[in-house]
Structure 1
Amino acid sequence: MGNRLRELRTARGWSQERLVREIERYARQHVAVVASTASLHVYISEWENGKRPITERYAAILRPLLGATSSELLGIANSPAVPPTADGYDELVSRIENARSISAGAVKALTDQTELLRTFDRQMGAASLVDQMAGHLTTLEETLTFAVLPDARQPVARALAGAATLAAWQALDVGAVERAWRHYELAKRAAQEANEPMYLAHAMAEQAYVLCDAGRPAMGLELVRDALRIGGGRVSPRLKAWLHAAEAELCATNGAVADCQRALERAAAALPGGPETRDPDMLSIFLNGGHLERWRGHSLALIGEDDAVANLYSALADMDPTFVRAKSGLHIDLAQAHLARVEPSQATEHLQQARLLAGRTGSVRHRRRIELLTARL
């Protein structure tokens, strides 16, 4: 099977010339040696036409630039994961004992690594983190593979559920849809093993966005509502608000205006007061009144409500500057809201801002939305 370089490049809207510049920029930043500009033009053309294999030297540059795994870049067919091979019983027992003795501090270190990757993702985008995220998931999966007893497995499974959900959202953002789906399935299995309904409900609700982006919004809405039922009274108030906000967005995507409004009301009723954003029981959830205002504006923009513009400008004024990808999405929402009001000049301004931010984070998902709205101008 040939490589997918052309597909990954065009998904970002990059020309071959732009890819050459990005390779050279990456090489300067990481003190790596690459071929001359003229040679890189030839290499890219030959890589994309199957006339030259992509060596590991250049694959190590292209993966973070394009937010792709090795299999996605090189066109290697997915195969079932093979557990690490134990070299005889002594090594197997050694791995089991190591997993059994994993301390709370070690699990916390793994969770802290997830949080570090989440911070980088929020500010710089997911594309540059693909190798780090893959290595982190491998460490967690291998630890869980050799953890035998429930008291050792449960905290690792919880950490894996959180990391896999983050990895899935990152994959969705860079356009790696199948990878996103597989990671969500991994997150759900880990959450079930850890007996963590909050993690399970969160992974299910995020997975609904894969269905929505794939043109199956009704199925996505059904999955979000299943997540609400599974969570029931066992989720935190902030996560409950988050789930209802996701429900409202999916209702809007399905054109269910009244259901959207009701879900937004339930989200506002469930959300704890105050400026706090982080859910101490679910670290992946960031939601306060300002964030919910933005979500409300986004949902109202999807159904063409005039109130969307006021909600979105209020959210923009209060936005944390470190949420770079979220700010890109907010500008896209404002463009959509202005288009609904037949205000093309304001929509164009916000699309320009969104395009700049999406370029910084490498968000293929946002770029698709930008292109769809640009076509309506």
Structure 2
Amino acid sequence: MSEGLKAARVARGSQEWFVRAIERYARQHMLEVASTASLRVYVSEWENGKRPISERYAGIIRGVLGITNDELFGRPQAPTGPPQLVGGYDDLVNRIDSAKNVSLTMVKTFMDQTELLRTVDRQMGAAHLVDQMTGHLATLEDALTFAVLPETRRPVARALAGAATLAAWQALDVGAVERAWRHYELGKRAAQEANEPMYLVHAMAEQAYVLCDAGRTELAVQLVQDAKLTGGTKLSPRLEAWLHAAEAEICAKAGLPDECHRLLDQAAACLPDGEEARDPDMLSIFLNSGHLARWRGNALALIGDDDAVSSLYVALDAMDPTFIRAESGLRCDLAQAHLARGEFGQAQEHLQQARLLAGRTGSVRRRRRIEQISGQL
């Protein structure tokens, strides 16, 4: 019986939505599936434990729902750590020798793969990437496990830190919160081994969002503050601005409006001038004045500040059209801001746009927020 299937499906939509999503995925990947009528029966029987899920359909379901096999079949997740060693010294030595030959070129390949997954995630959402990201992390973990000397381990650990943090954010987006937490822990360990404080700080601050989404906003504030202390003076200006903005958003959710305003001002003061958004020292950070305007509007909307609307429209005009998930969030922010002003028609219009965009990316996290705002209209 698939204990995880029904919970994952309910978080995203109805059984009819699921059937249509399976058909759409099959068409996109040129796969054969049963008729619509048969799929309706299959879905009901899968969720009730009356029909086993074949490997062929399991692959489709993973791509549609963005869950792993363990999450699909309800198997307990083993703690993250090095895999069991293969039997025999010959095999072990072969693995160590292979890891020793991991060159800087190979590390760059790992980083390029992470970058590709980040780009696809930004445009299409995380759900379709679960198998690719699982395999990518396994390859990096394997390379690190059998690497011996620091000059080999550190570059691989750095690549793993970036990939694990991206995987964690993707897992959080599709509603797999335990997987997200474990990936953040993996990213933090890898960053510490690589002696990369910026990667460690970034993973800690993003992990605070898991606590925030779970309703532990005070603990989330403490974690992001601890991240800033951990980074100290070793942070790039753009990452420092990002941390201030992240803390501002979490303070807004914790009901601390004065702190929110103060931190937003600090973020603006730290942010480098110019249109460049990407931090060359921390490739997962995208932040310029346009992004910060969106973030400011998001935080102000959460505390019901009337200035939120103007900031959000400035951000909407400047938004990169390839940031699909980000636009969905911005539309949610606009809906929240208009709702606070009693402008229900405009709130409904932006919420509808947010729903359409969230449907394209399969974002469970965004869907939850949309439903929360819808309940206030």
Q: Which residue of 1 aligns with 2:204?
A: 204
* Between 31-40 and 272-281, the greater mean CA deviation after superposition: 31-40
* Between 83-92 and 43-52, the greater mean CA deviation after superposition: 83-92
* Between 177-186 and 74-83, the greater mean CA deviation after superposition: 74-83
Cα contact 2:224–2:243 (8 A) shared by 1: yes
In structure 1, the gaps of 5 or more residues are none
Structure 2 Cα separation of the partners of residues 55 and 136 of structure 1: 24
AA aligned to 2:25 is: Y
Q: Which residue of 2 aligns with 1:250?
A: 250
Q: Which residue of 2 aligns with 1:49?
A: 48
AA aligned to 1:66 is: L
Alignment coverage as a number of residue pairs: 376
Deviation of 1:87 after TM superposition, in Å, equals 3.8
Deviation of 1:85 after TM superposition, in Å, equals 3.5
**Among the aligned pairs, what percent are the same residue?**
70
- Are 1:31 and 2:39 matched, yes or no? no
Deviation of 1:2 after TM superposition, in Å, equals 3.9
Q: Which residue of 2 aligns with 1:165?
A: 165
Cα contact 1:111–1:159 (8 A) shared by 2: yes
Cα contact 2:133–2:167 (8 A) shared by 1: yes
Deviation of 1:84 after TM superposition, in Å, equals 4.8
Cα contact 1:63–1:130 (8 A) shared by 2: yes
Q: Which residue of 2 aligns with 1:324?
A: 324
Describe the superposition over 1:220-255 as per-residue Cα deviations: whole angstroms up to 9, x where unpaired: 010000000001100111000000000111111111
AA aligned to 1:283 is: L
Cα contact 1:3–1:48 (8 A) shared by 2: yes
Cα contact 1:54–1:74 (8 A) shared by 2: no
> Cα RMSD over matched residues?
1.0
Runs of 4+ in 1 over 4 A off after TM superposition: none
Structure 1 Cα separation of the partners of residues 69 and 142 of structure 2: 20
* Between 252-261 and 349-358, the greater mean CA deviation after superposition: 252-261
| Pairing 1:168-187 to 2, within 5 Å after superposition | 168-187=168-187
Deviation of 1:132 after TM superposition, in Å, equals 0.3
Cα contact 2:205–2:224 (8 A) shared by 1: yes
Structure 2 Cα separation of the partners of residues 6 and 50 of structure 1: 10
Structure 2 Cα separation of the partners of residues 63 and 79 of structure 1: 19
| Pairing 1:262-341 to 2, within 5 Å after superposition | 262-341=262-341
Describe the shift of the 1:180–1:54 C-alpha distance in structure 2 as closer, same or farther (beyond 3 A): same
Cα contact 2:181–2:210 (8 A) shared by 1: yes
AA aligned to 1:26 is: Y
Deviation of 1:272 after TM superposition, in Å, equals 0.6
Deviation of 1:86 after TM superposition, in Å, equals 2.2
In structure 2, the gaps of 5 or more residues are none
SS at match of 2:233: helix
Q: Which residue of 2 aligns with 1:77?
A: 76
Structure 2 Cα separation of the partners of residues 43 and 166 of structure 1: 33
Structure 2 Cα separation of the partners of residues 299 and 37 of structure 1: 44
Q: Which residue of 2 aligns with 1:372?
A: 372
Structure 2 Cα separation of the partners of residues 110 and 84 of structure 1: 23
Cα contact 1:309–1:334 (8 A) shared by 2: yes
AA aligned to 2:70 is: S
AA aligned to 2:57 is: Y
Cα contact 1:173–1:363 (8 A) shared by 2: yes
Cα contact 2:107–2:156 (8 A) shared by 1: yes
Q: Which residue of 2 aligns with 1:67?
A: 66
Q: Which residue of 1 aligns with 2:101?
A: 101
Deviation of 1:285 after TM superposition, in Å, equals 0.2
Structure 2 Cα separation of the partners of residues 140 and 221 of structure 1: 31
Cα contact 2:162–2:199 (8 A) shared by 1: yes
Q: Which residue of 1 aligns with 2:129?
A: 129
Describe the superposition over 1:120-156 as per-residue Cα deviations: whole angstroms up to 9, x where unpaired: 0000000000000000000000000000111110000
Q: Which residue of 1 aligns with 2:359?
A: 359
Cα contact 1:208–1:220 (8 A) shared by 2: yes
- Are 1:20 and 2:19 matched, yes or no? yes
Describe the superposition over 1:260-291 as per-residue Cα deviations: whole angstroms up to 9, x where unpaired: 11111111111110000000000000000100
SS at match of 1:142: helix
Structure 2 Cα separation of the partners of residues 306 and 121 of structure 1: 32
Deviation of 1:362 after TM superposition, in Å, equals 0.3
Describe the superposition over 1:318-342 as per-residue Cα deviations: whole angstroms up to 9, x where unpaired: 0000100000000000000011111
Structure 1 Cα separation of the partners of residues 92 and 308 of structure 2: 58
AA aligned to 1:77 is: P
Structure 1 Cα separation of the partners of residues 312 and 25 of structure 2: 35
Structure 2 Cα separation of the partners of residues 130 and 325 of structure 1: 17
